[in-house]
A and B are shown apart, each in its own frame.
Chain A
């Protein structure tokens, strides 16, 4: 099998995976839930901004506002807001960059970092196990290698995660236009798209975890529990790594930061340096898939 032949098979399997997933109510429900969660969180954020703005208005002795964004310029220079942003993006340098970005797009990326790992892992967990159970995988396994089959499913899941996250932009955009003042529609949409692309890269390792879990069991439910559990565990490990970093265990902490996608998360805020973590995440995804493949390669179908 040539490399081109393998890539062709991966593409064909991925194409079929996308078509199949779009036809299931589960995929559509996940798309919908993701969009609702992103839009809902964006709305809550506008209300938080409104509360902070009105607090600021009281301090300045000016009338309170009914719609968020009326005092955004003043807000940007307030210490409260800067510390809020610093908490979100992780560094002072990144704050300077994101101050030039529509605040709702910044929030959307921050929220995506929390949500998209669970979404990607959960959705991908079904990709193989359901066909292992029904043995329908046999029809494809006769015609292509198991590696191409699994990578095709993984690529299909990445496409689906990309579609879901891009569709969610429209909900957040609508919230930005209706519940927040001062947003230029083109600028807001452009930044939402640009930052969501980074979130998509961040989702890759977690989609890999989902596909890995899916290769280990014939039960989609159990695969999902494993994938979501591992994703939650990675956040706990990330917290542990931060604790170790602050408590004189920097070598172990650095090692964990290298292998955990969350360890690269803050660099994804950087204006140009986000490319490196994006590449790392796009490598960590297939690595996670391959961990599951060690079992899948030799298993009876």
Chain B
């Protein structure tokens, strides 16, 4: 796999009249990751996707897709897939016809295009309805056809804007599993409001707010997975003093029976010490959570940026 990042945005700004949808946005997404693209409503996620995909022209700044420069359908033919959030499928066709048509535009000849359409209809579990008119499919089914269109030809980079929107929990789980299988092979950028879902799916995160980047990095970096633990403990006196003496570099805070613990040293070694001291004080561990969680970090970041 090439060392060139899958996607680089540099100082991208997009204005709609006086409204600033993207404000000097710069970000880098490495190859092979599944990247969560996160932000509150109006953060600029869909605009960013549209600018990257060439649907919308940026007011300024540059986009580099797979090291080839800005979006060019000829250069990126078959290498770049997008699920646009608010684009409807041409509903007079069947899913099979539409996918074959799009696969042919991706450069495939008829027979491979048919095979690819069948493969993707299986992947999104629509193998039993390939010849129904799209107009007769439910919203969730249409969404799955659109997801299939983005994955046609196994492109190197795929942008999925709200792929789970309108799917029931079973369909969403199934799609999530399908997408997880692509990790490391393809680069996926997934936008969603469901942060719990993204936390389970993604290994890279980009957070936007008001058109600006507020955080980016690996999931473990962003959620502080390597440096923070929350211990849910049984009733009893938590040996806070003993913990602070044993681990003077670490920070401990207690709220009720929840002990939060941050360290800049080796978390595994600290954990062993904490467990020993808790056991010596006859305190049982009822639960343990690593990191702050994507949702908490997201809320913290958006509040922090909202306050500035």
* A interface with B by C-beta (< 8 Å): 1, 5, 9, 12-13, 16, 19-20, 23-24, 131, 134-145, 298, 300-301
How many angstroms from the CA of A245 to the CA of B93 in the assembled complex? 51
Interface check B227, CB cutoff 8 A: no
Contact B92 A20, beta carbon cutoff 8 Å: yes
A139-B102, A300-B50 known; A134+B55 contact, CB < 8 A: no
How many angstroms from the CA of A135 to the CA of B92 in the assembled complex? 15
A12-B105, A19-B93 known; A135+B86 contact, CB < 8 A: yes
Q: Which of B32-40, B72-80, B284-292 contacts A (4 or more CB under 8 A)?
A: B72-80
Contact B87 A300, beta carbon cutoff 8 Å: no
How many angstroms from the CA of A145 to the CA of B74 in the assembled complex? 7
- Name the distance in Å between A242's Cβ and chain B's nearest Cβ: 43
Interface check B88, CB cutoff 8 A: yes
How many angstroms from the CA of A287 to the CA of B254 in the assembled complex? 75
Contact B90 A143, beta carbon cutoff 8 Å: no
- Name the distance in Å between A285's Cβ and chain B's nearest Cβ: 23
Contact A144 B104, beta carbon cutoff 8 Å: no
Contact B102 A300, beta carbon cutoff 8 Å: no
Interface check B193, CB cutoff 8 A: no
Q: Note all chain B residues with C-beta closer than 8 A to A131.
A: 90
Q: Note all chain A residues with C-beta closer than 8 A to B282.
A: none
Interface check B239, CB cutoff 8 A: no
Contact A20 B90, beta carbon cutoff 8 Å: yes
How many angstroms from the CA of A140 to the CA of B149 in the assembled complex? 10
Contact B87 A136, beta carbon cutoff 8 Å: yes
Contact B55 A301, beta carbon cutoff 8 Å: yes
Contact B73 A144, beta carbon cutoff 8 Å: yes
Which of B57, B84, B102 makes the CB contact (< 8 A) with A143?
B102
- Name the distance in Å between A176's Cβ and chain B's nearest Cβ: 36
How many angstroms from the CA of A301 to the CA of B54 in the assembled complex? 9
Q: Note all chain B residues with C-beta closer than 8 A to A136.
A: 87-90
Contact A138 B92, beta carbon cutoff 8 Å: no
Which of B50, B101, B149 makes the CB contact (< 8 A) with A16?
B101
Which of A1, A13, A141 makes the CB contact (< 8 A) with B74?
A1
> Which residues of B5-63 have CB atoms within 8 Å of chain A's CB atoms?
50, 53-57
Q: Note all chain A residues with C-beta closer than 8 A to B102.
A: 139-140, 143
Interface check B97, CB cutoff 8 A: yes
How many angstroms from the CA of A20 to the CA of B92 in the assembled complex? 6
Which of A23, A140, A301 makes the CB contact (< 8 A) with B56?
A301
Contact A300 B57, beta carbon cutoff 8 Å: yes
How many angstroms from the CA of A140 to the CA of B73 in the assembled complex? 10
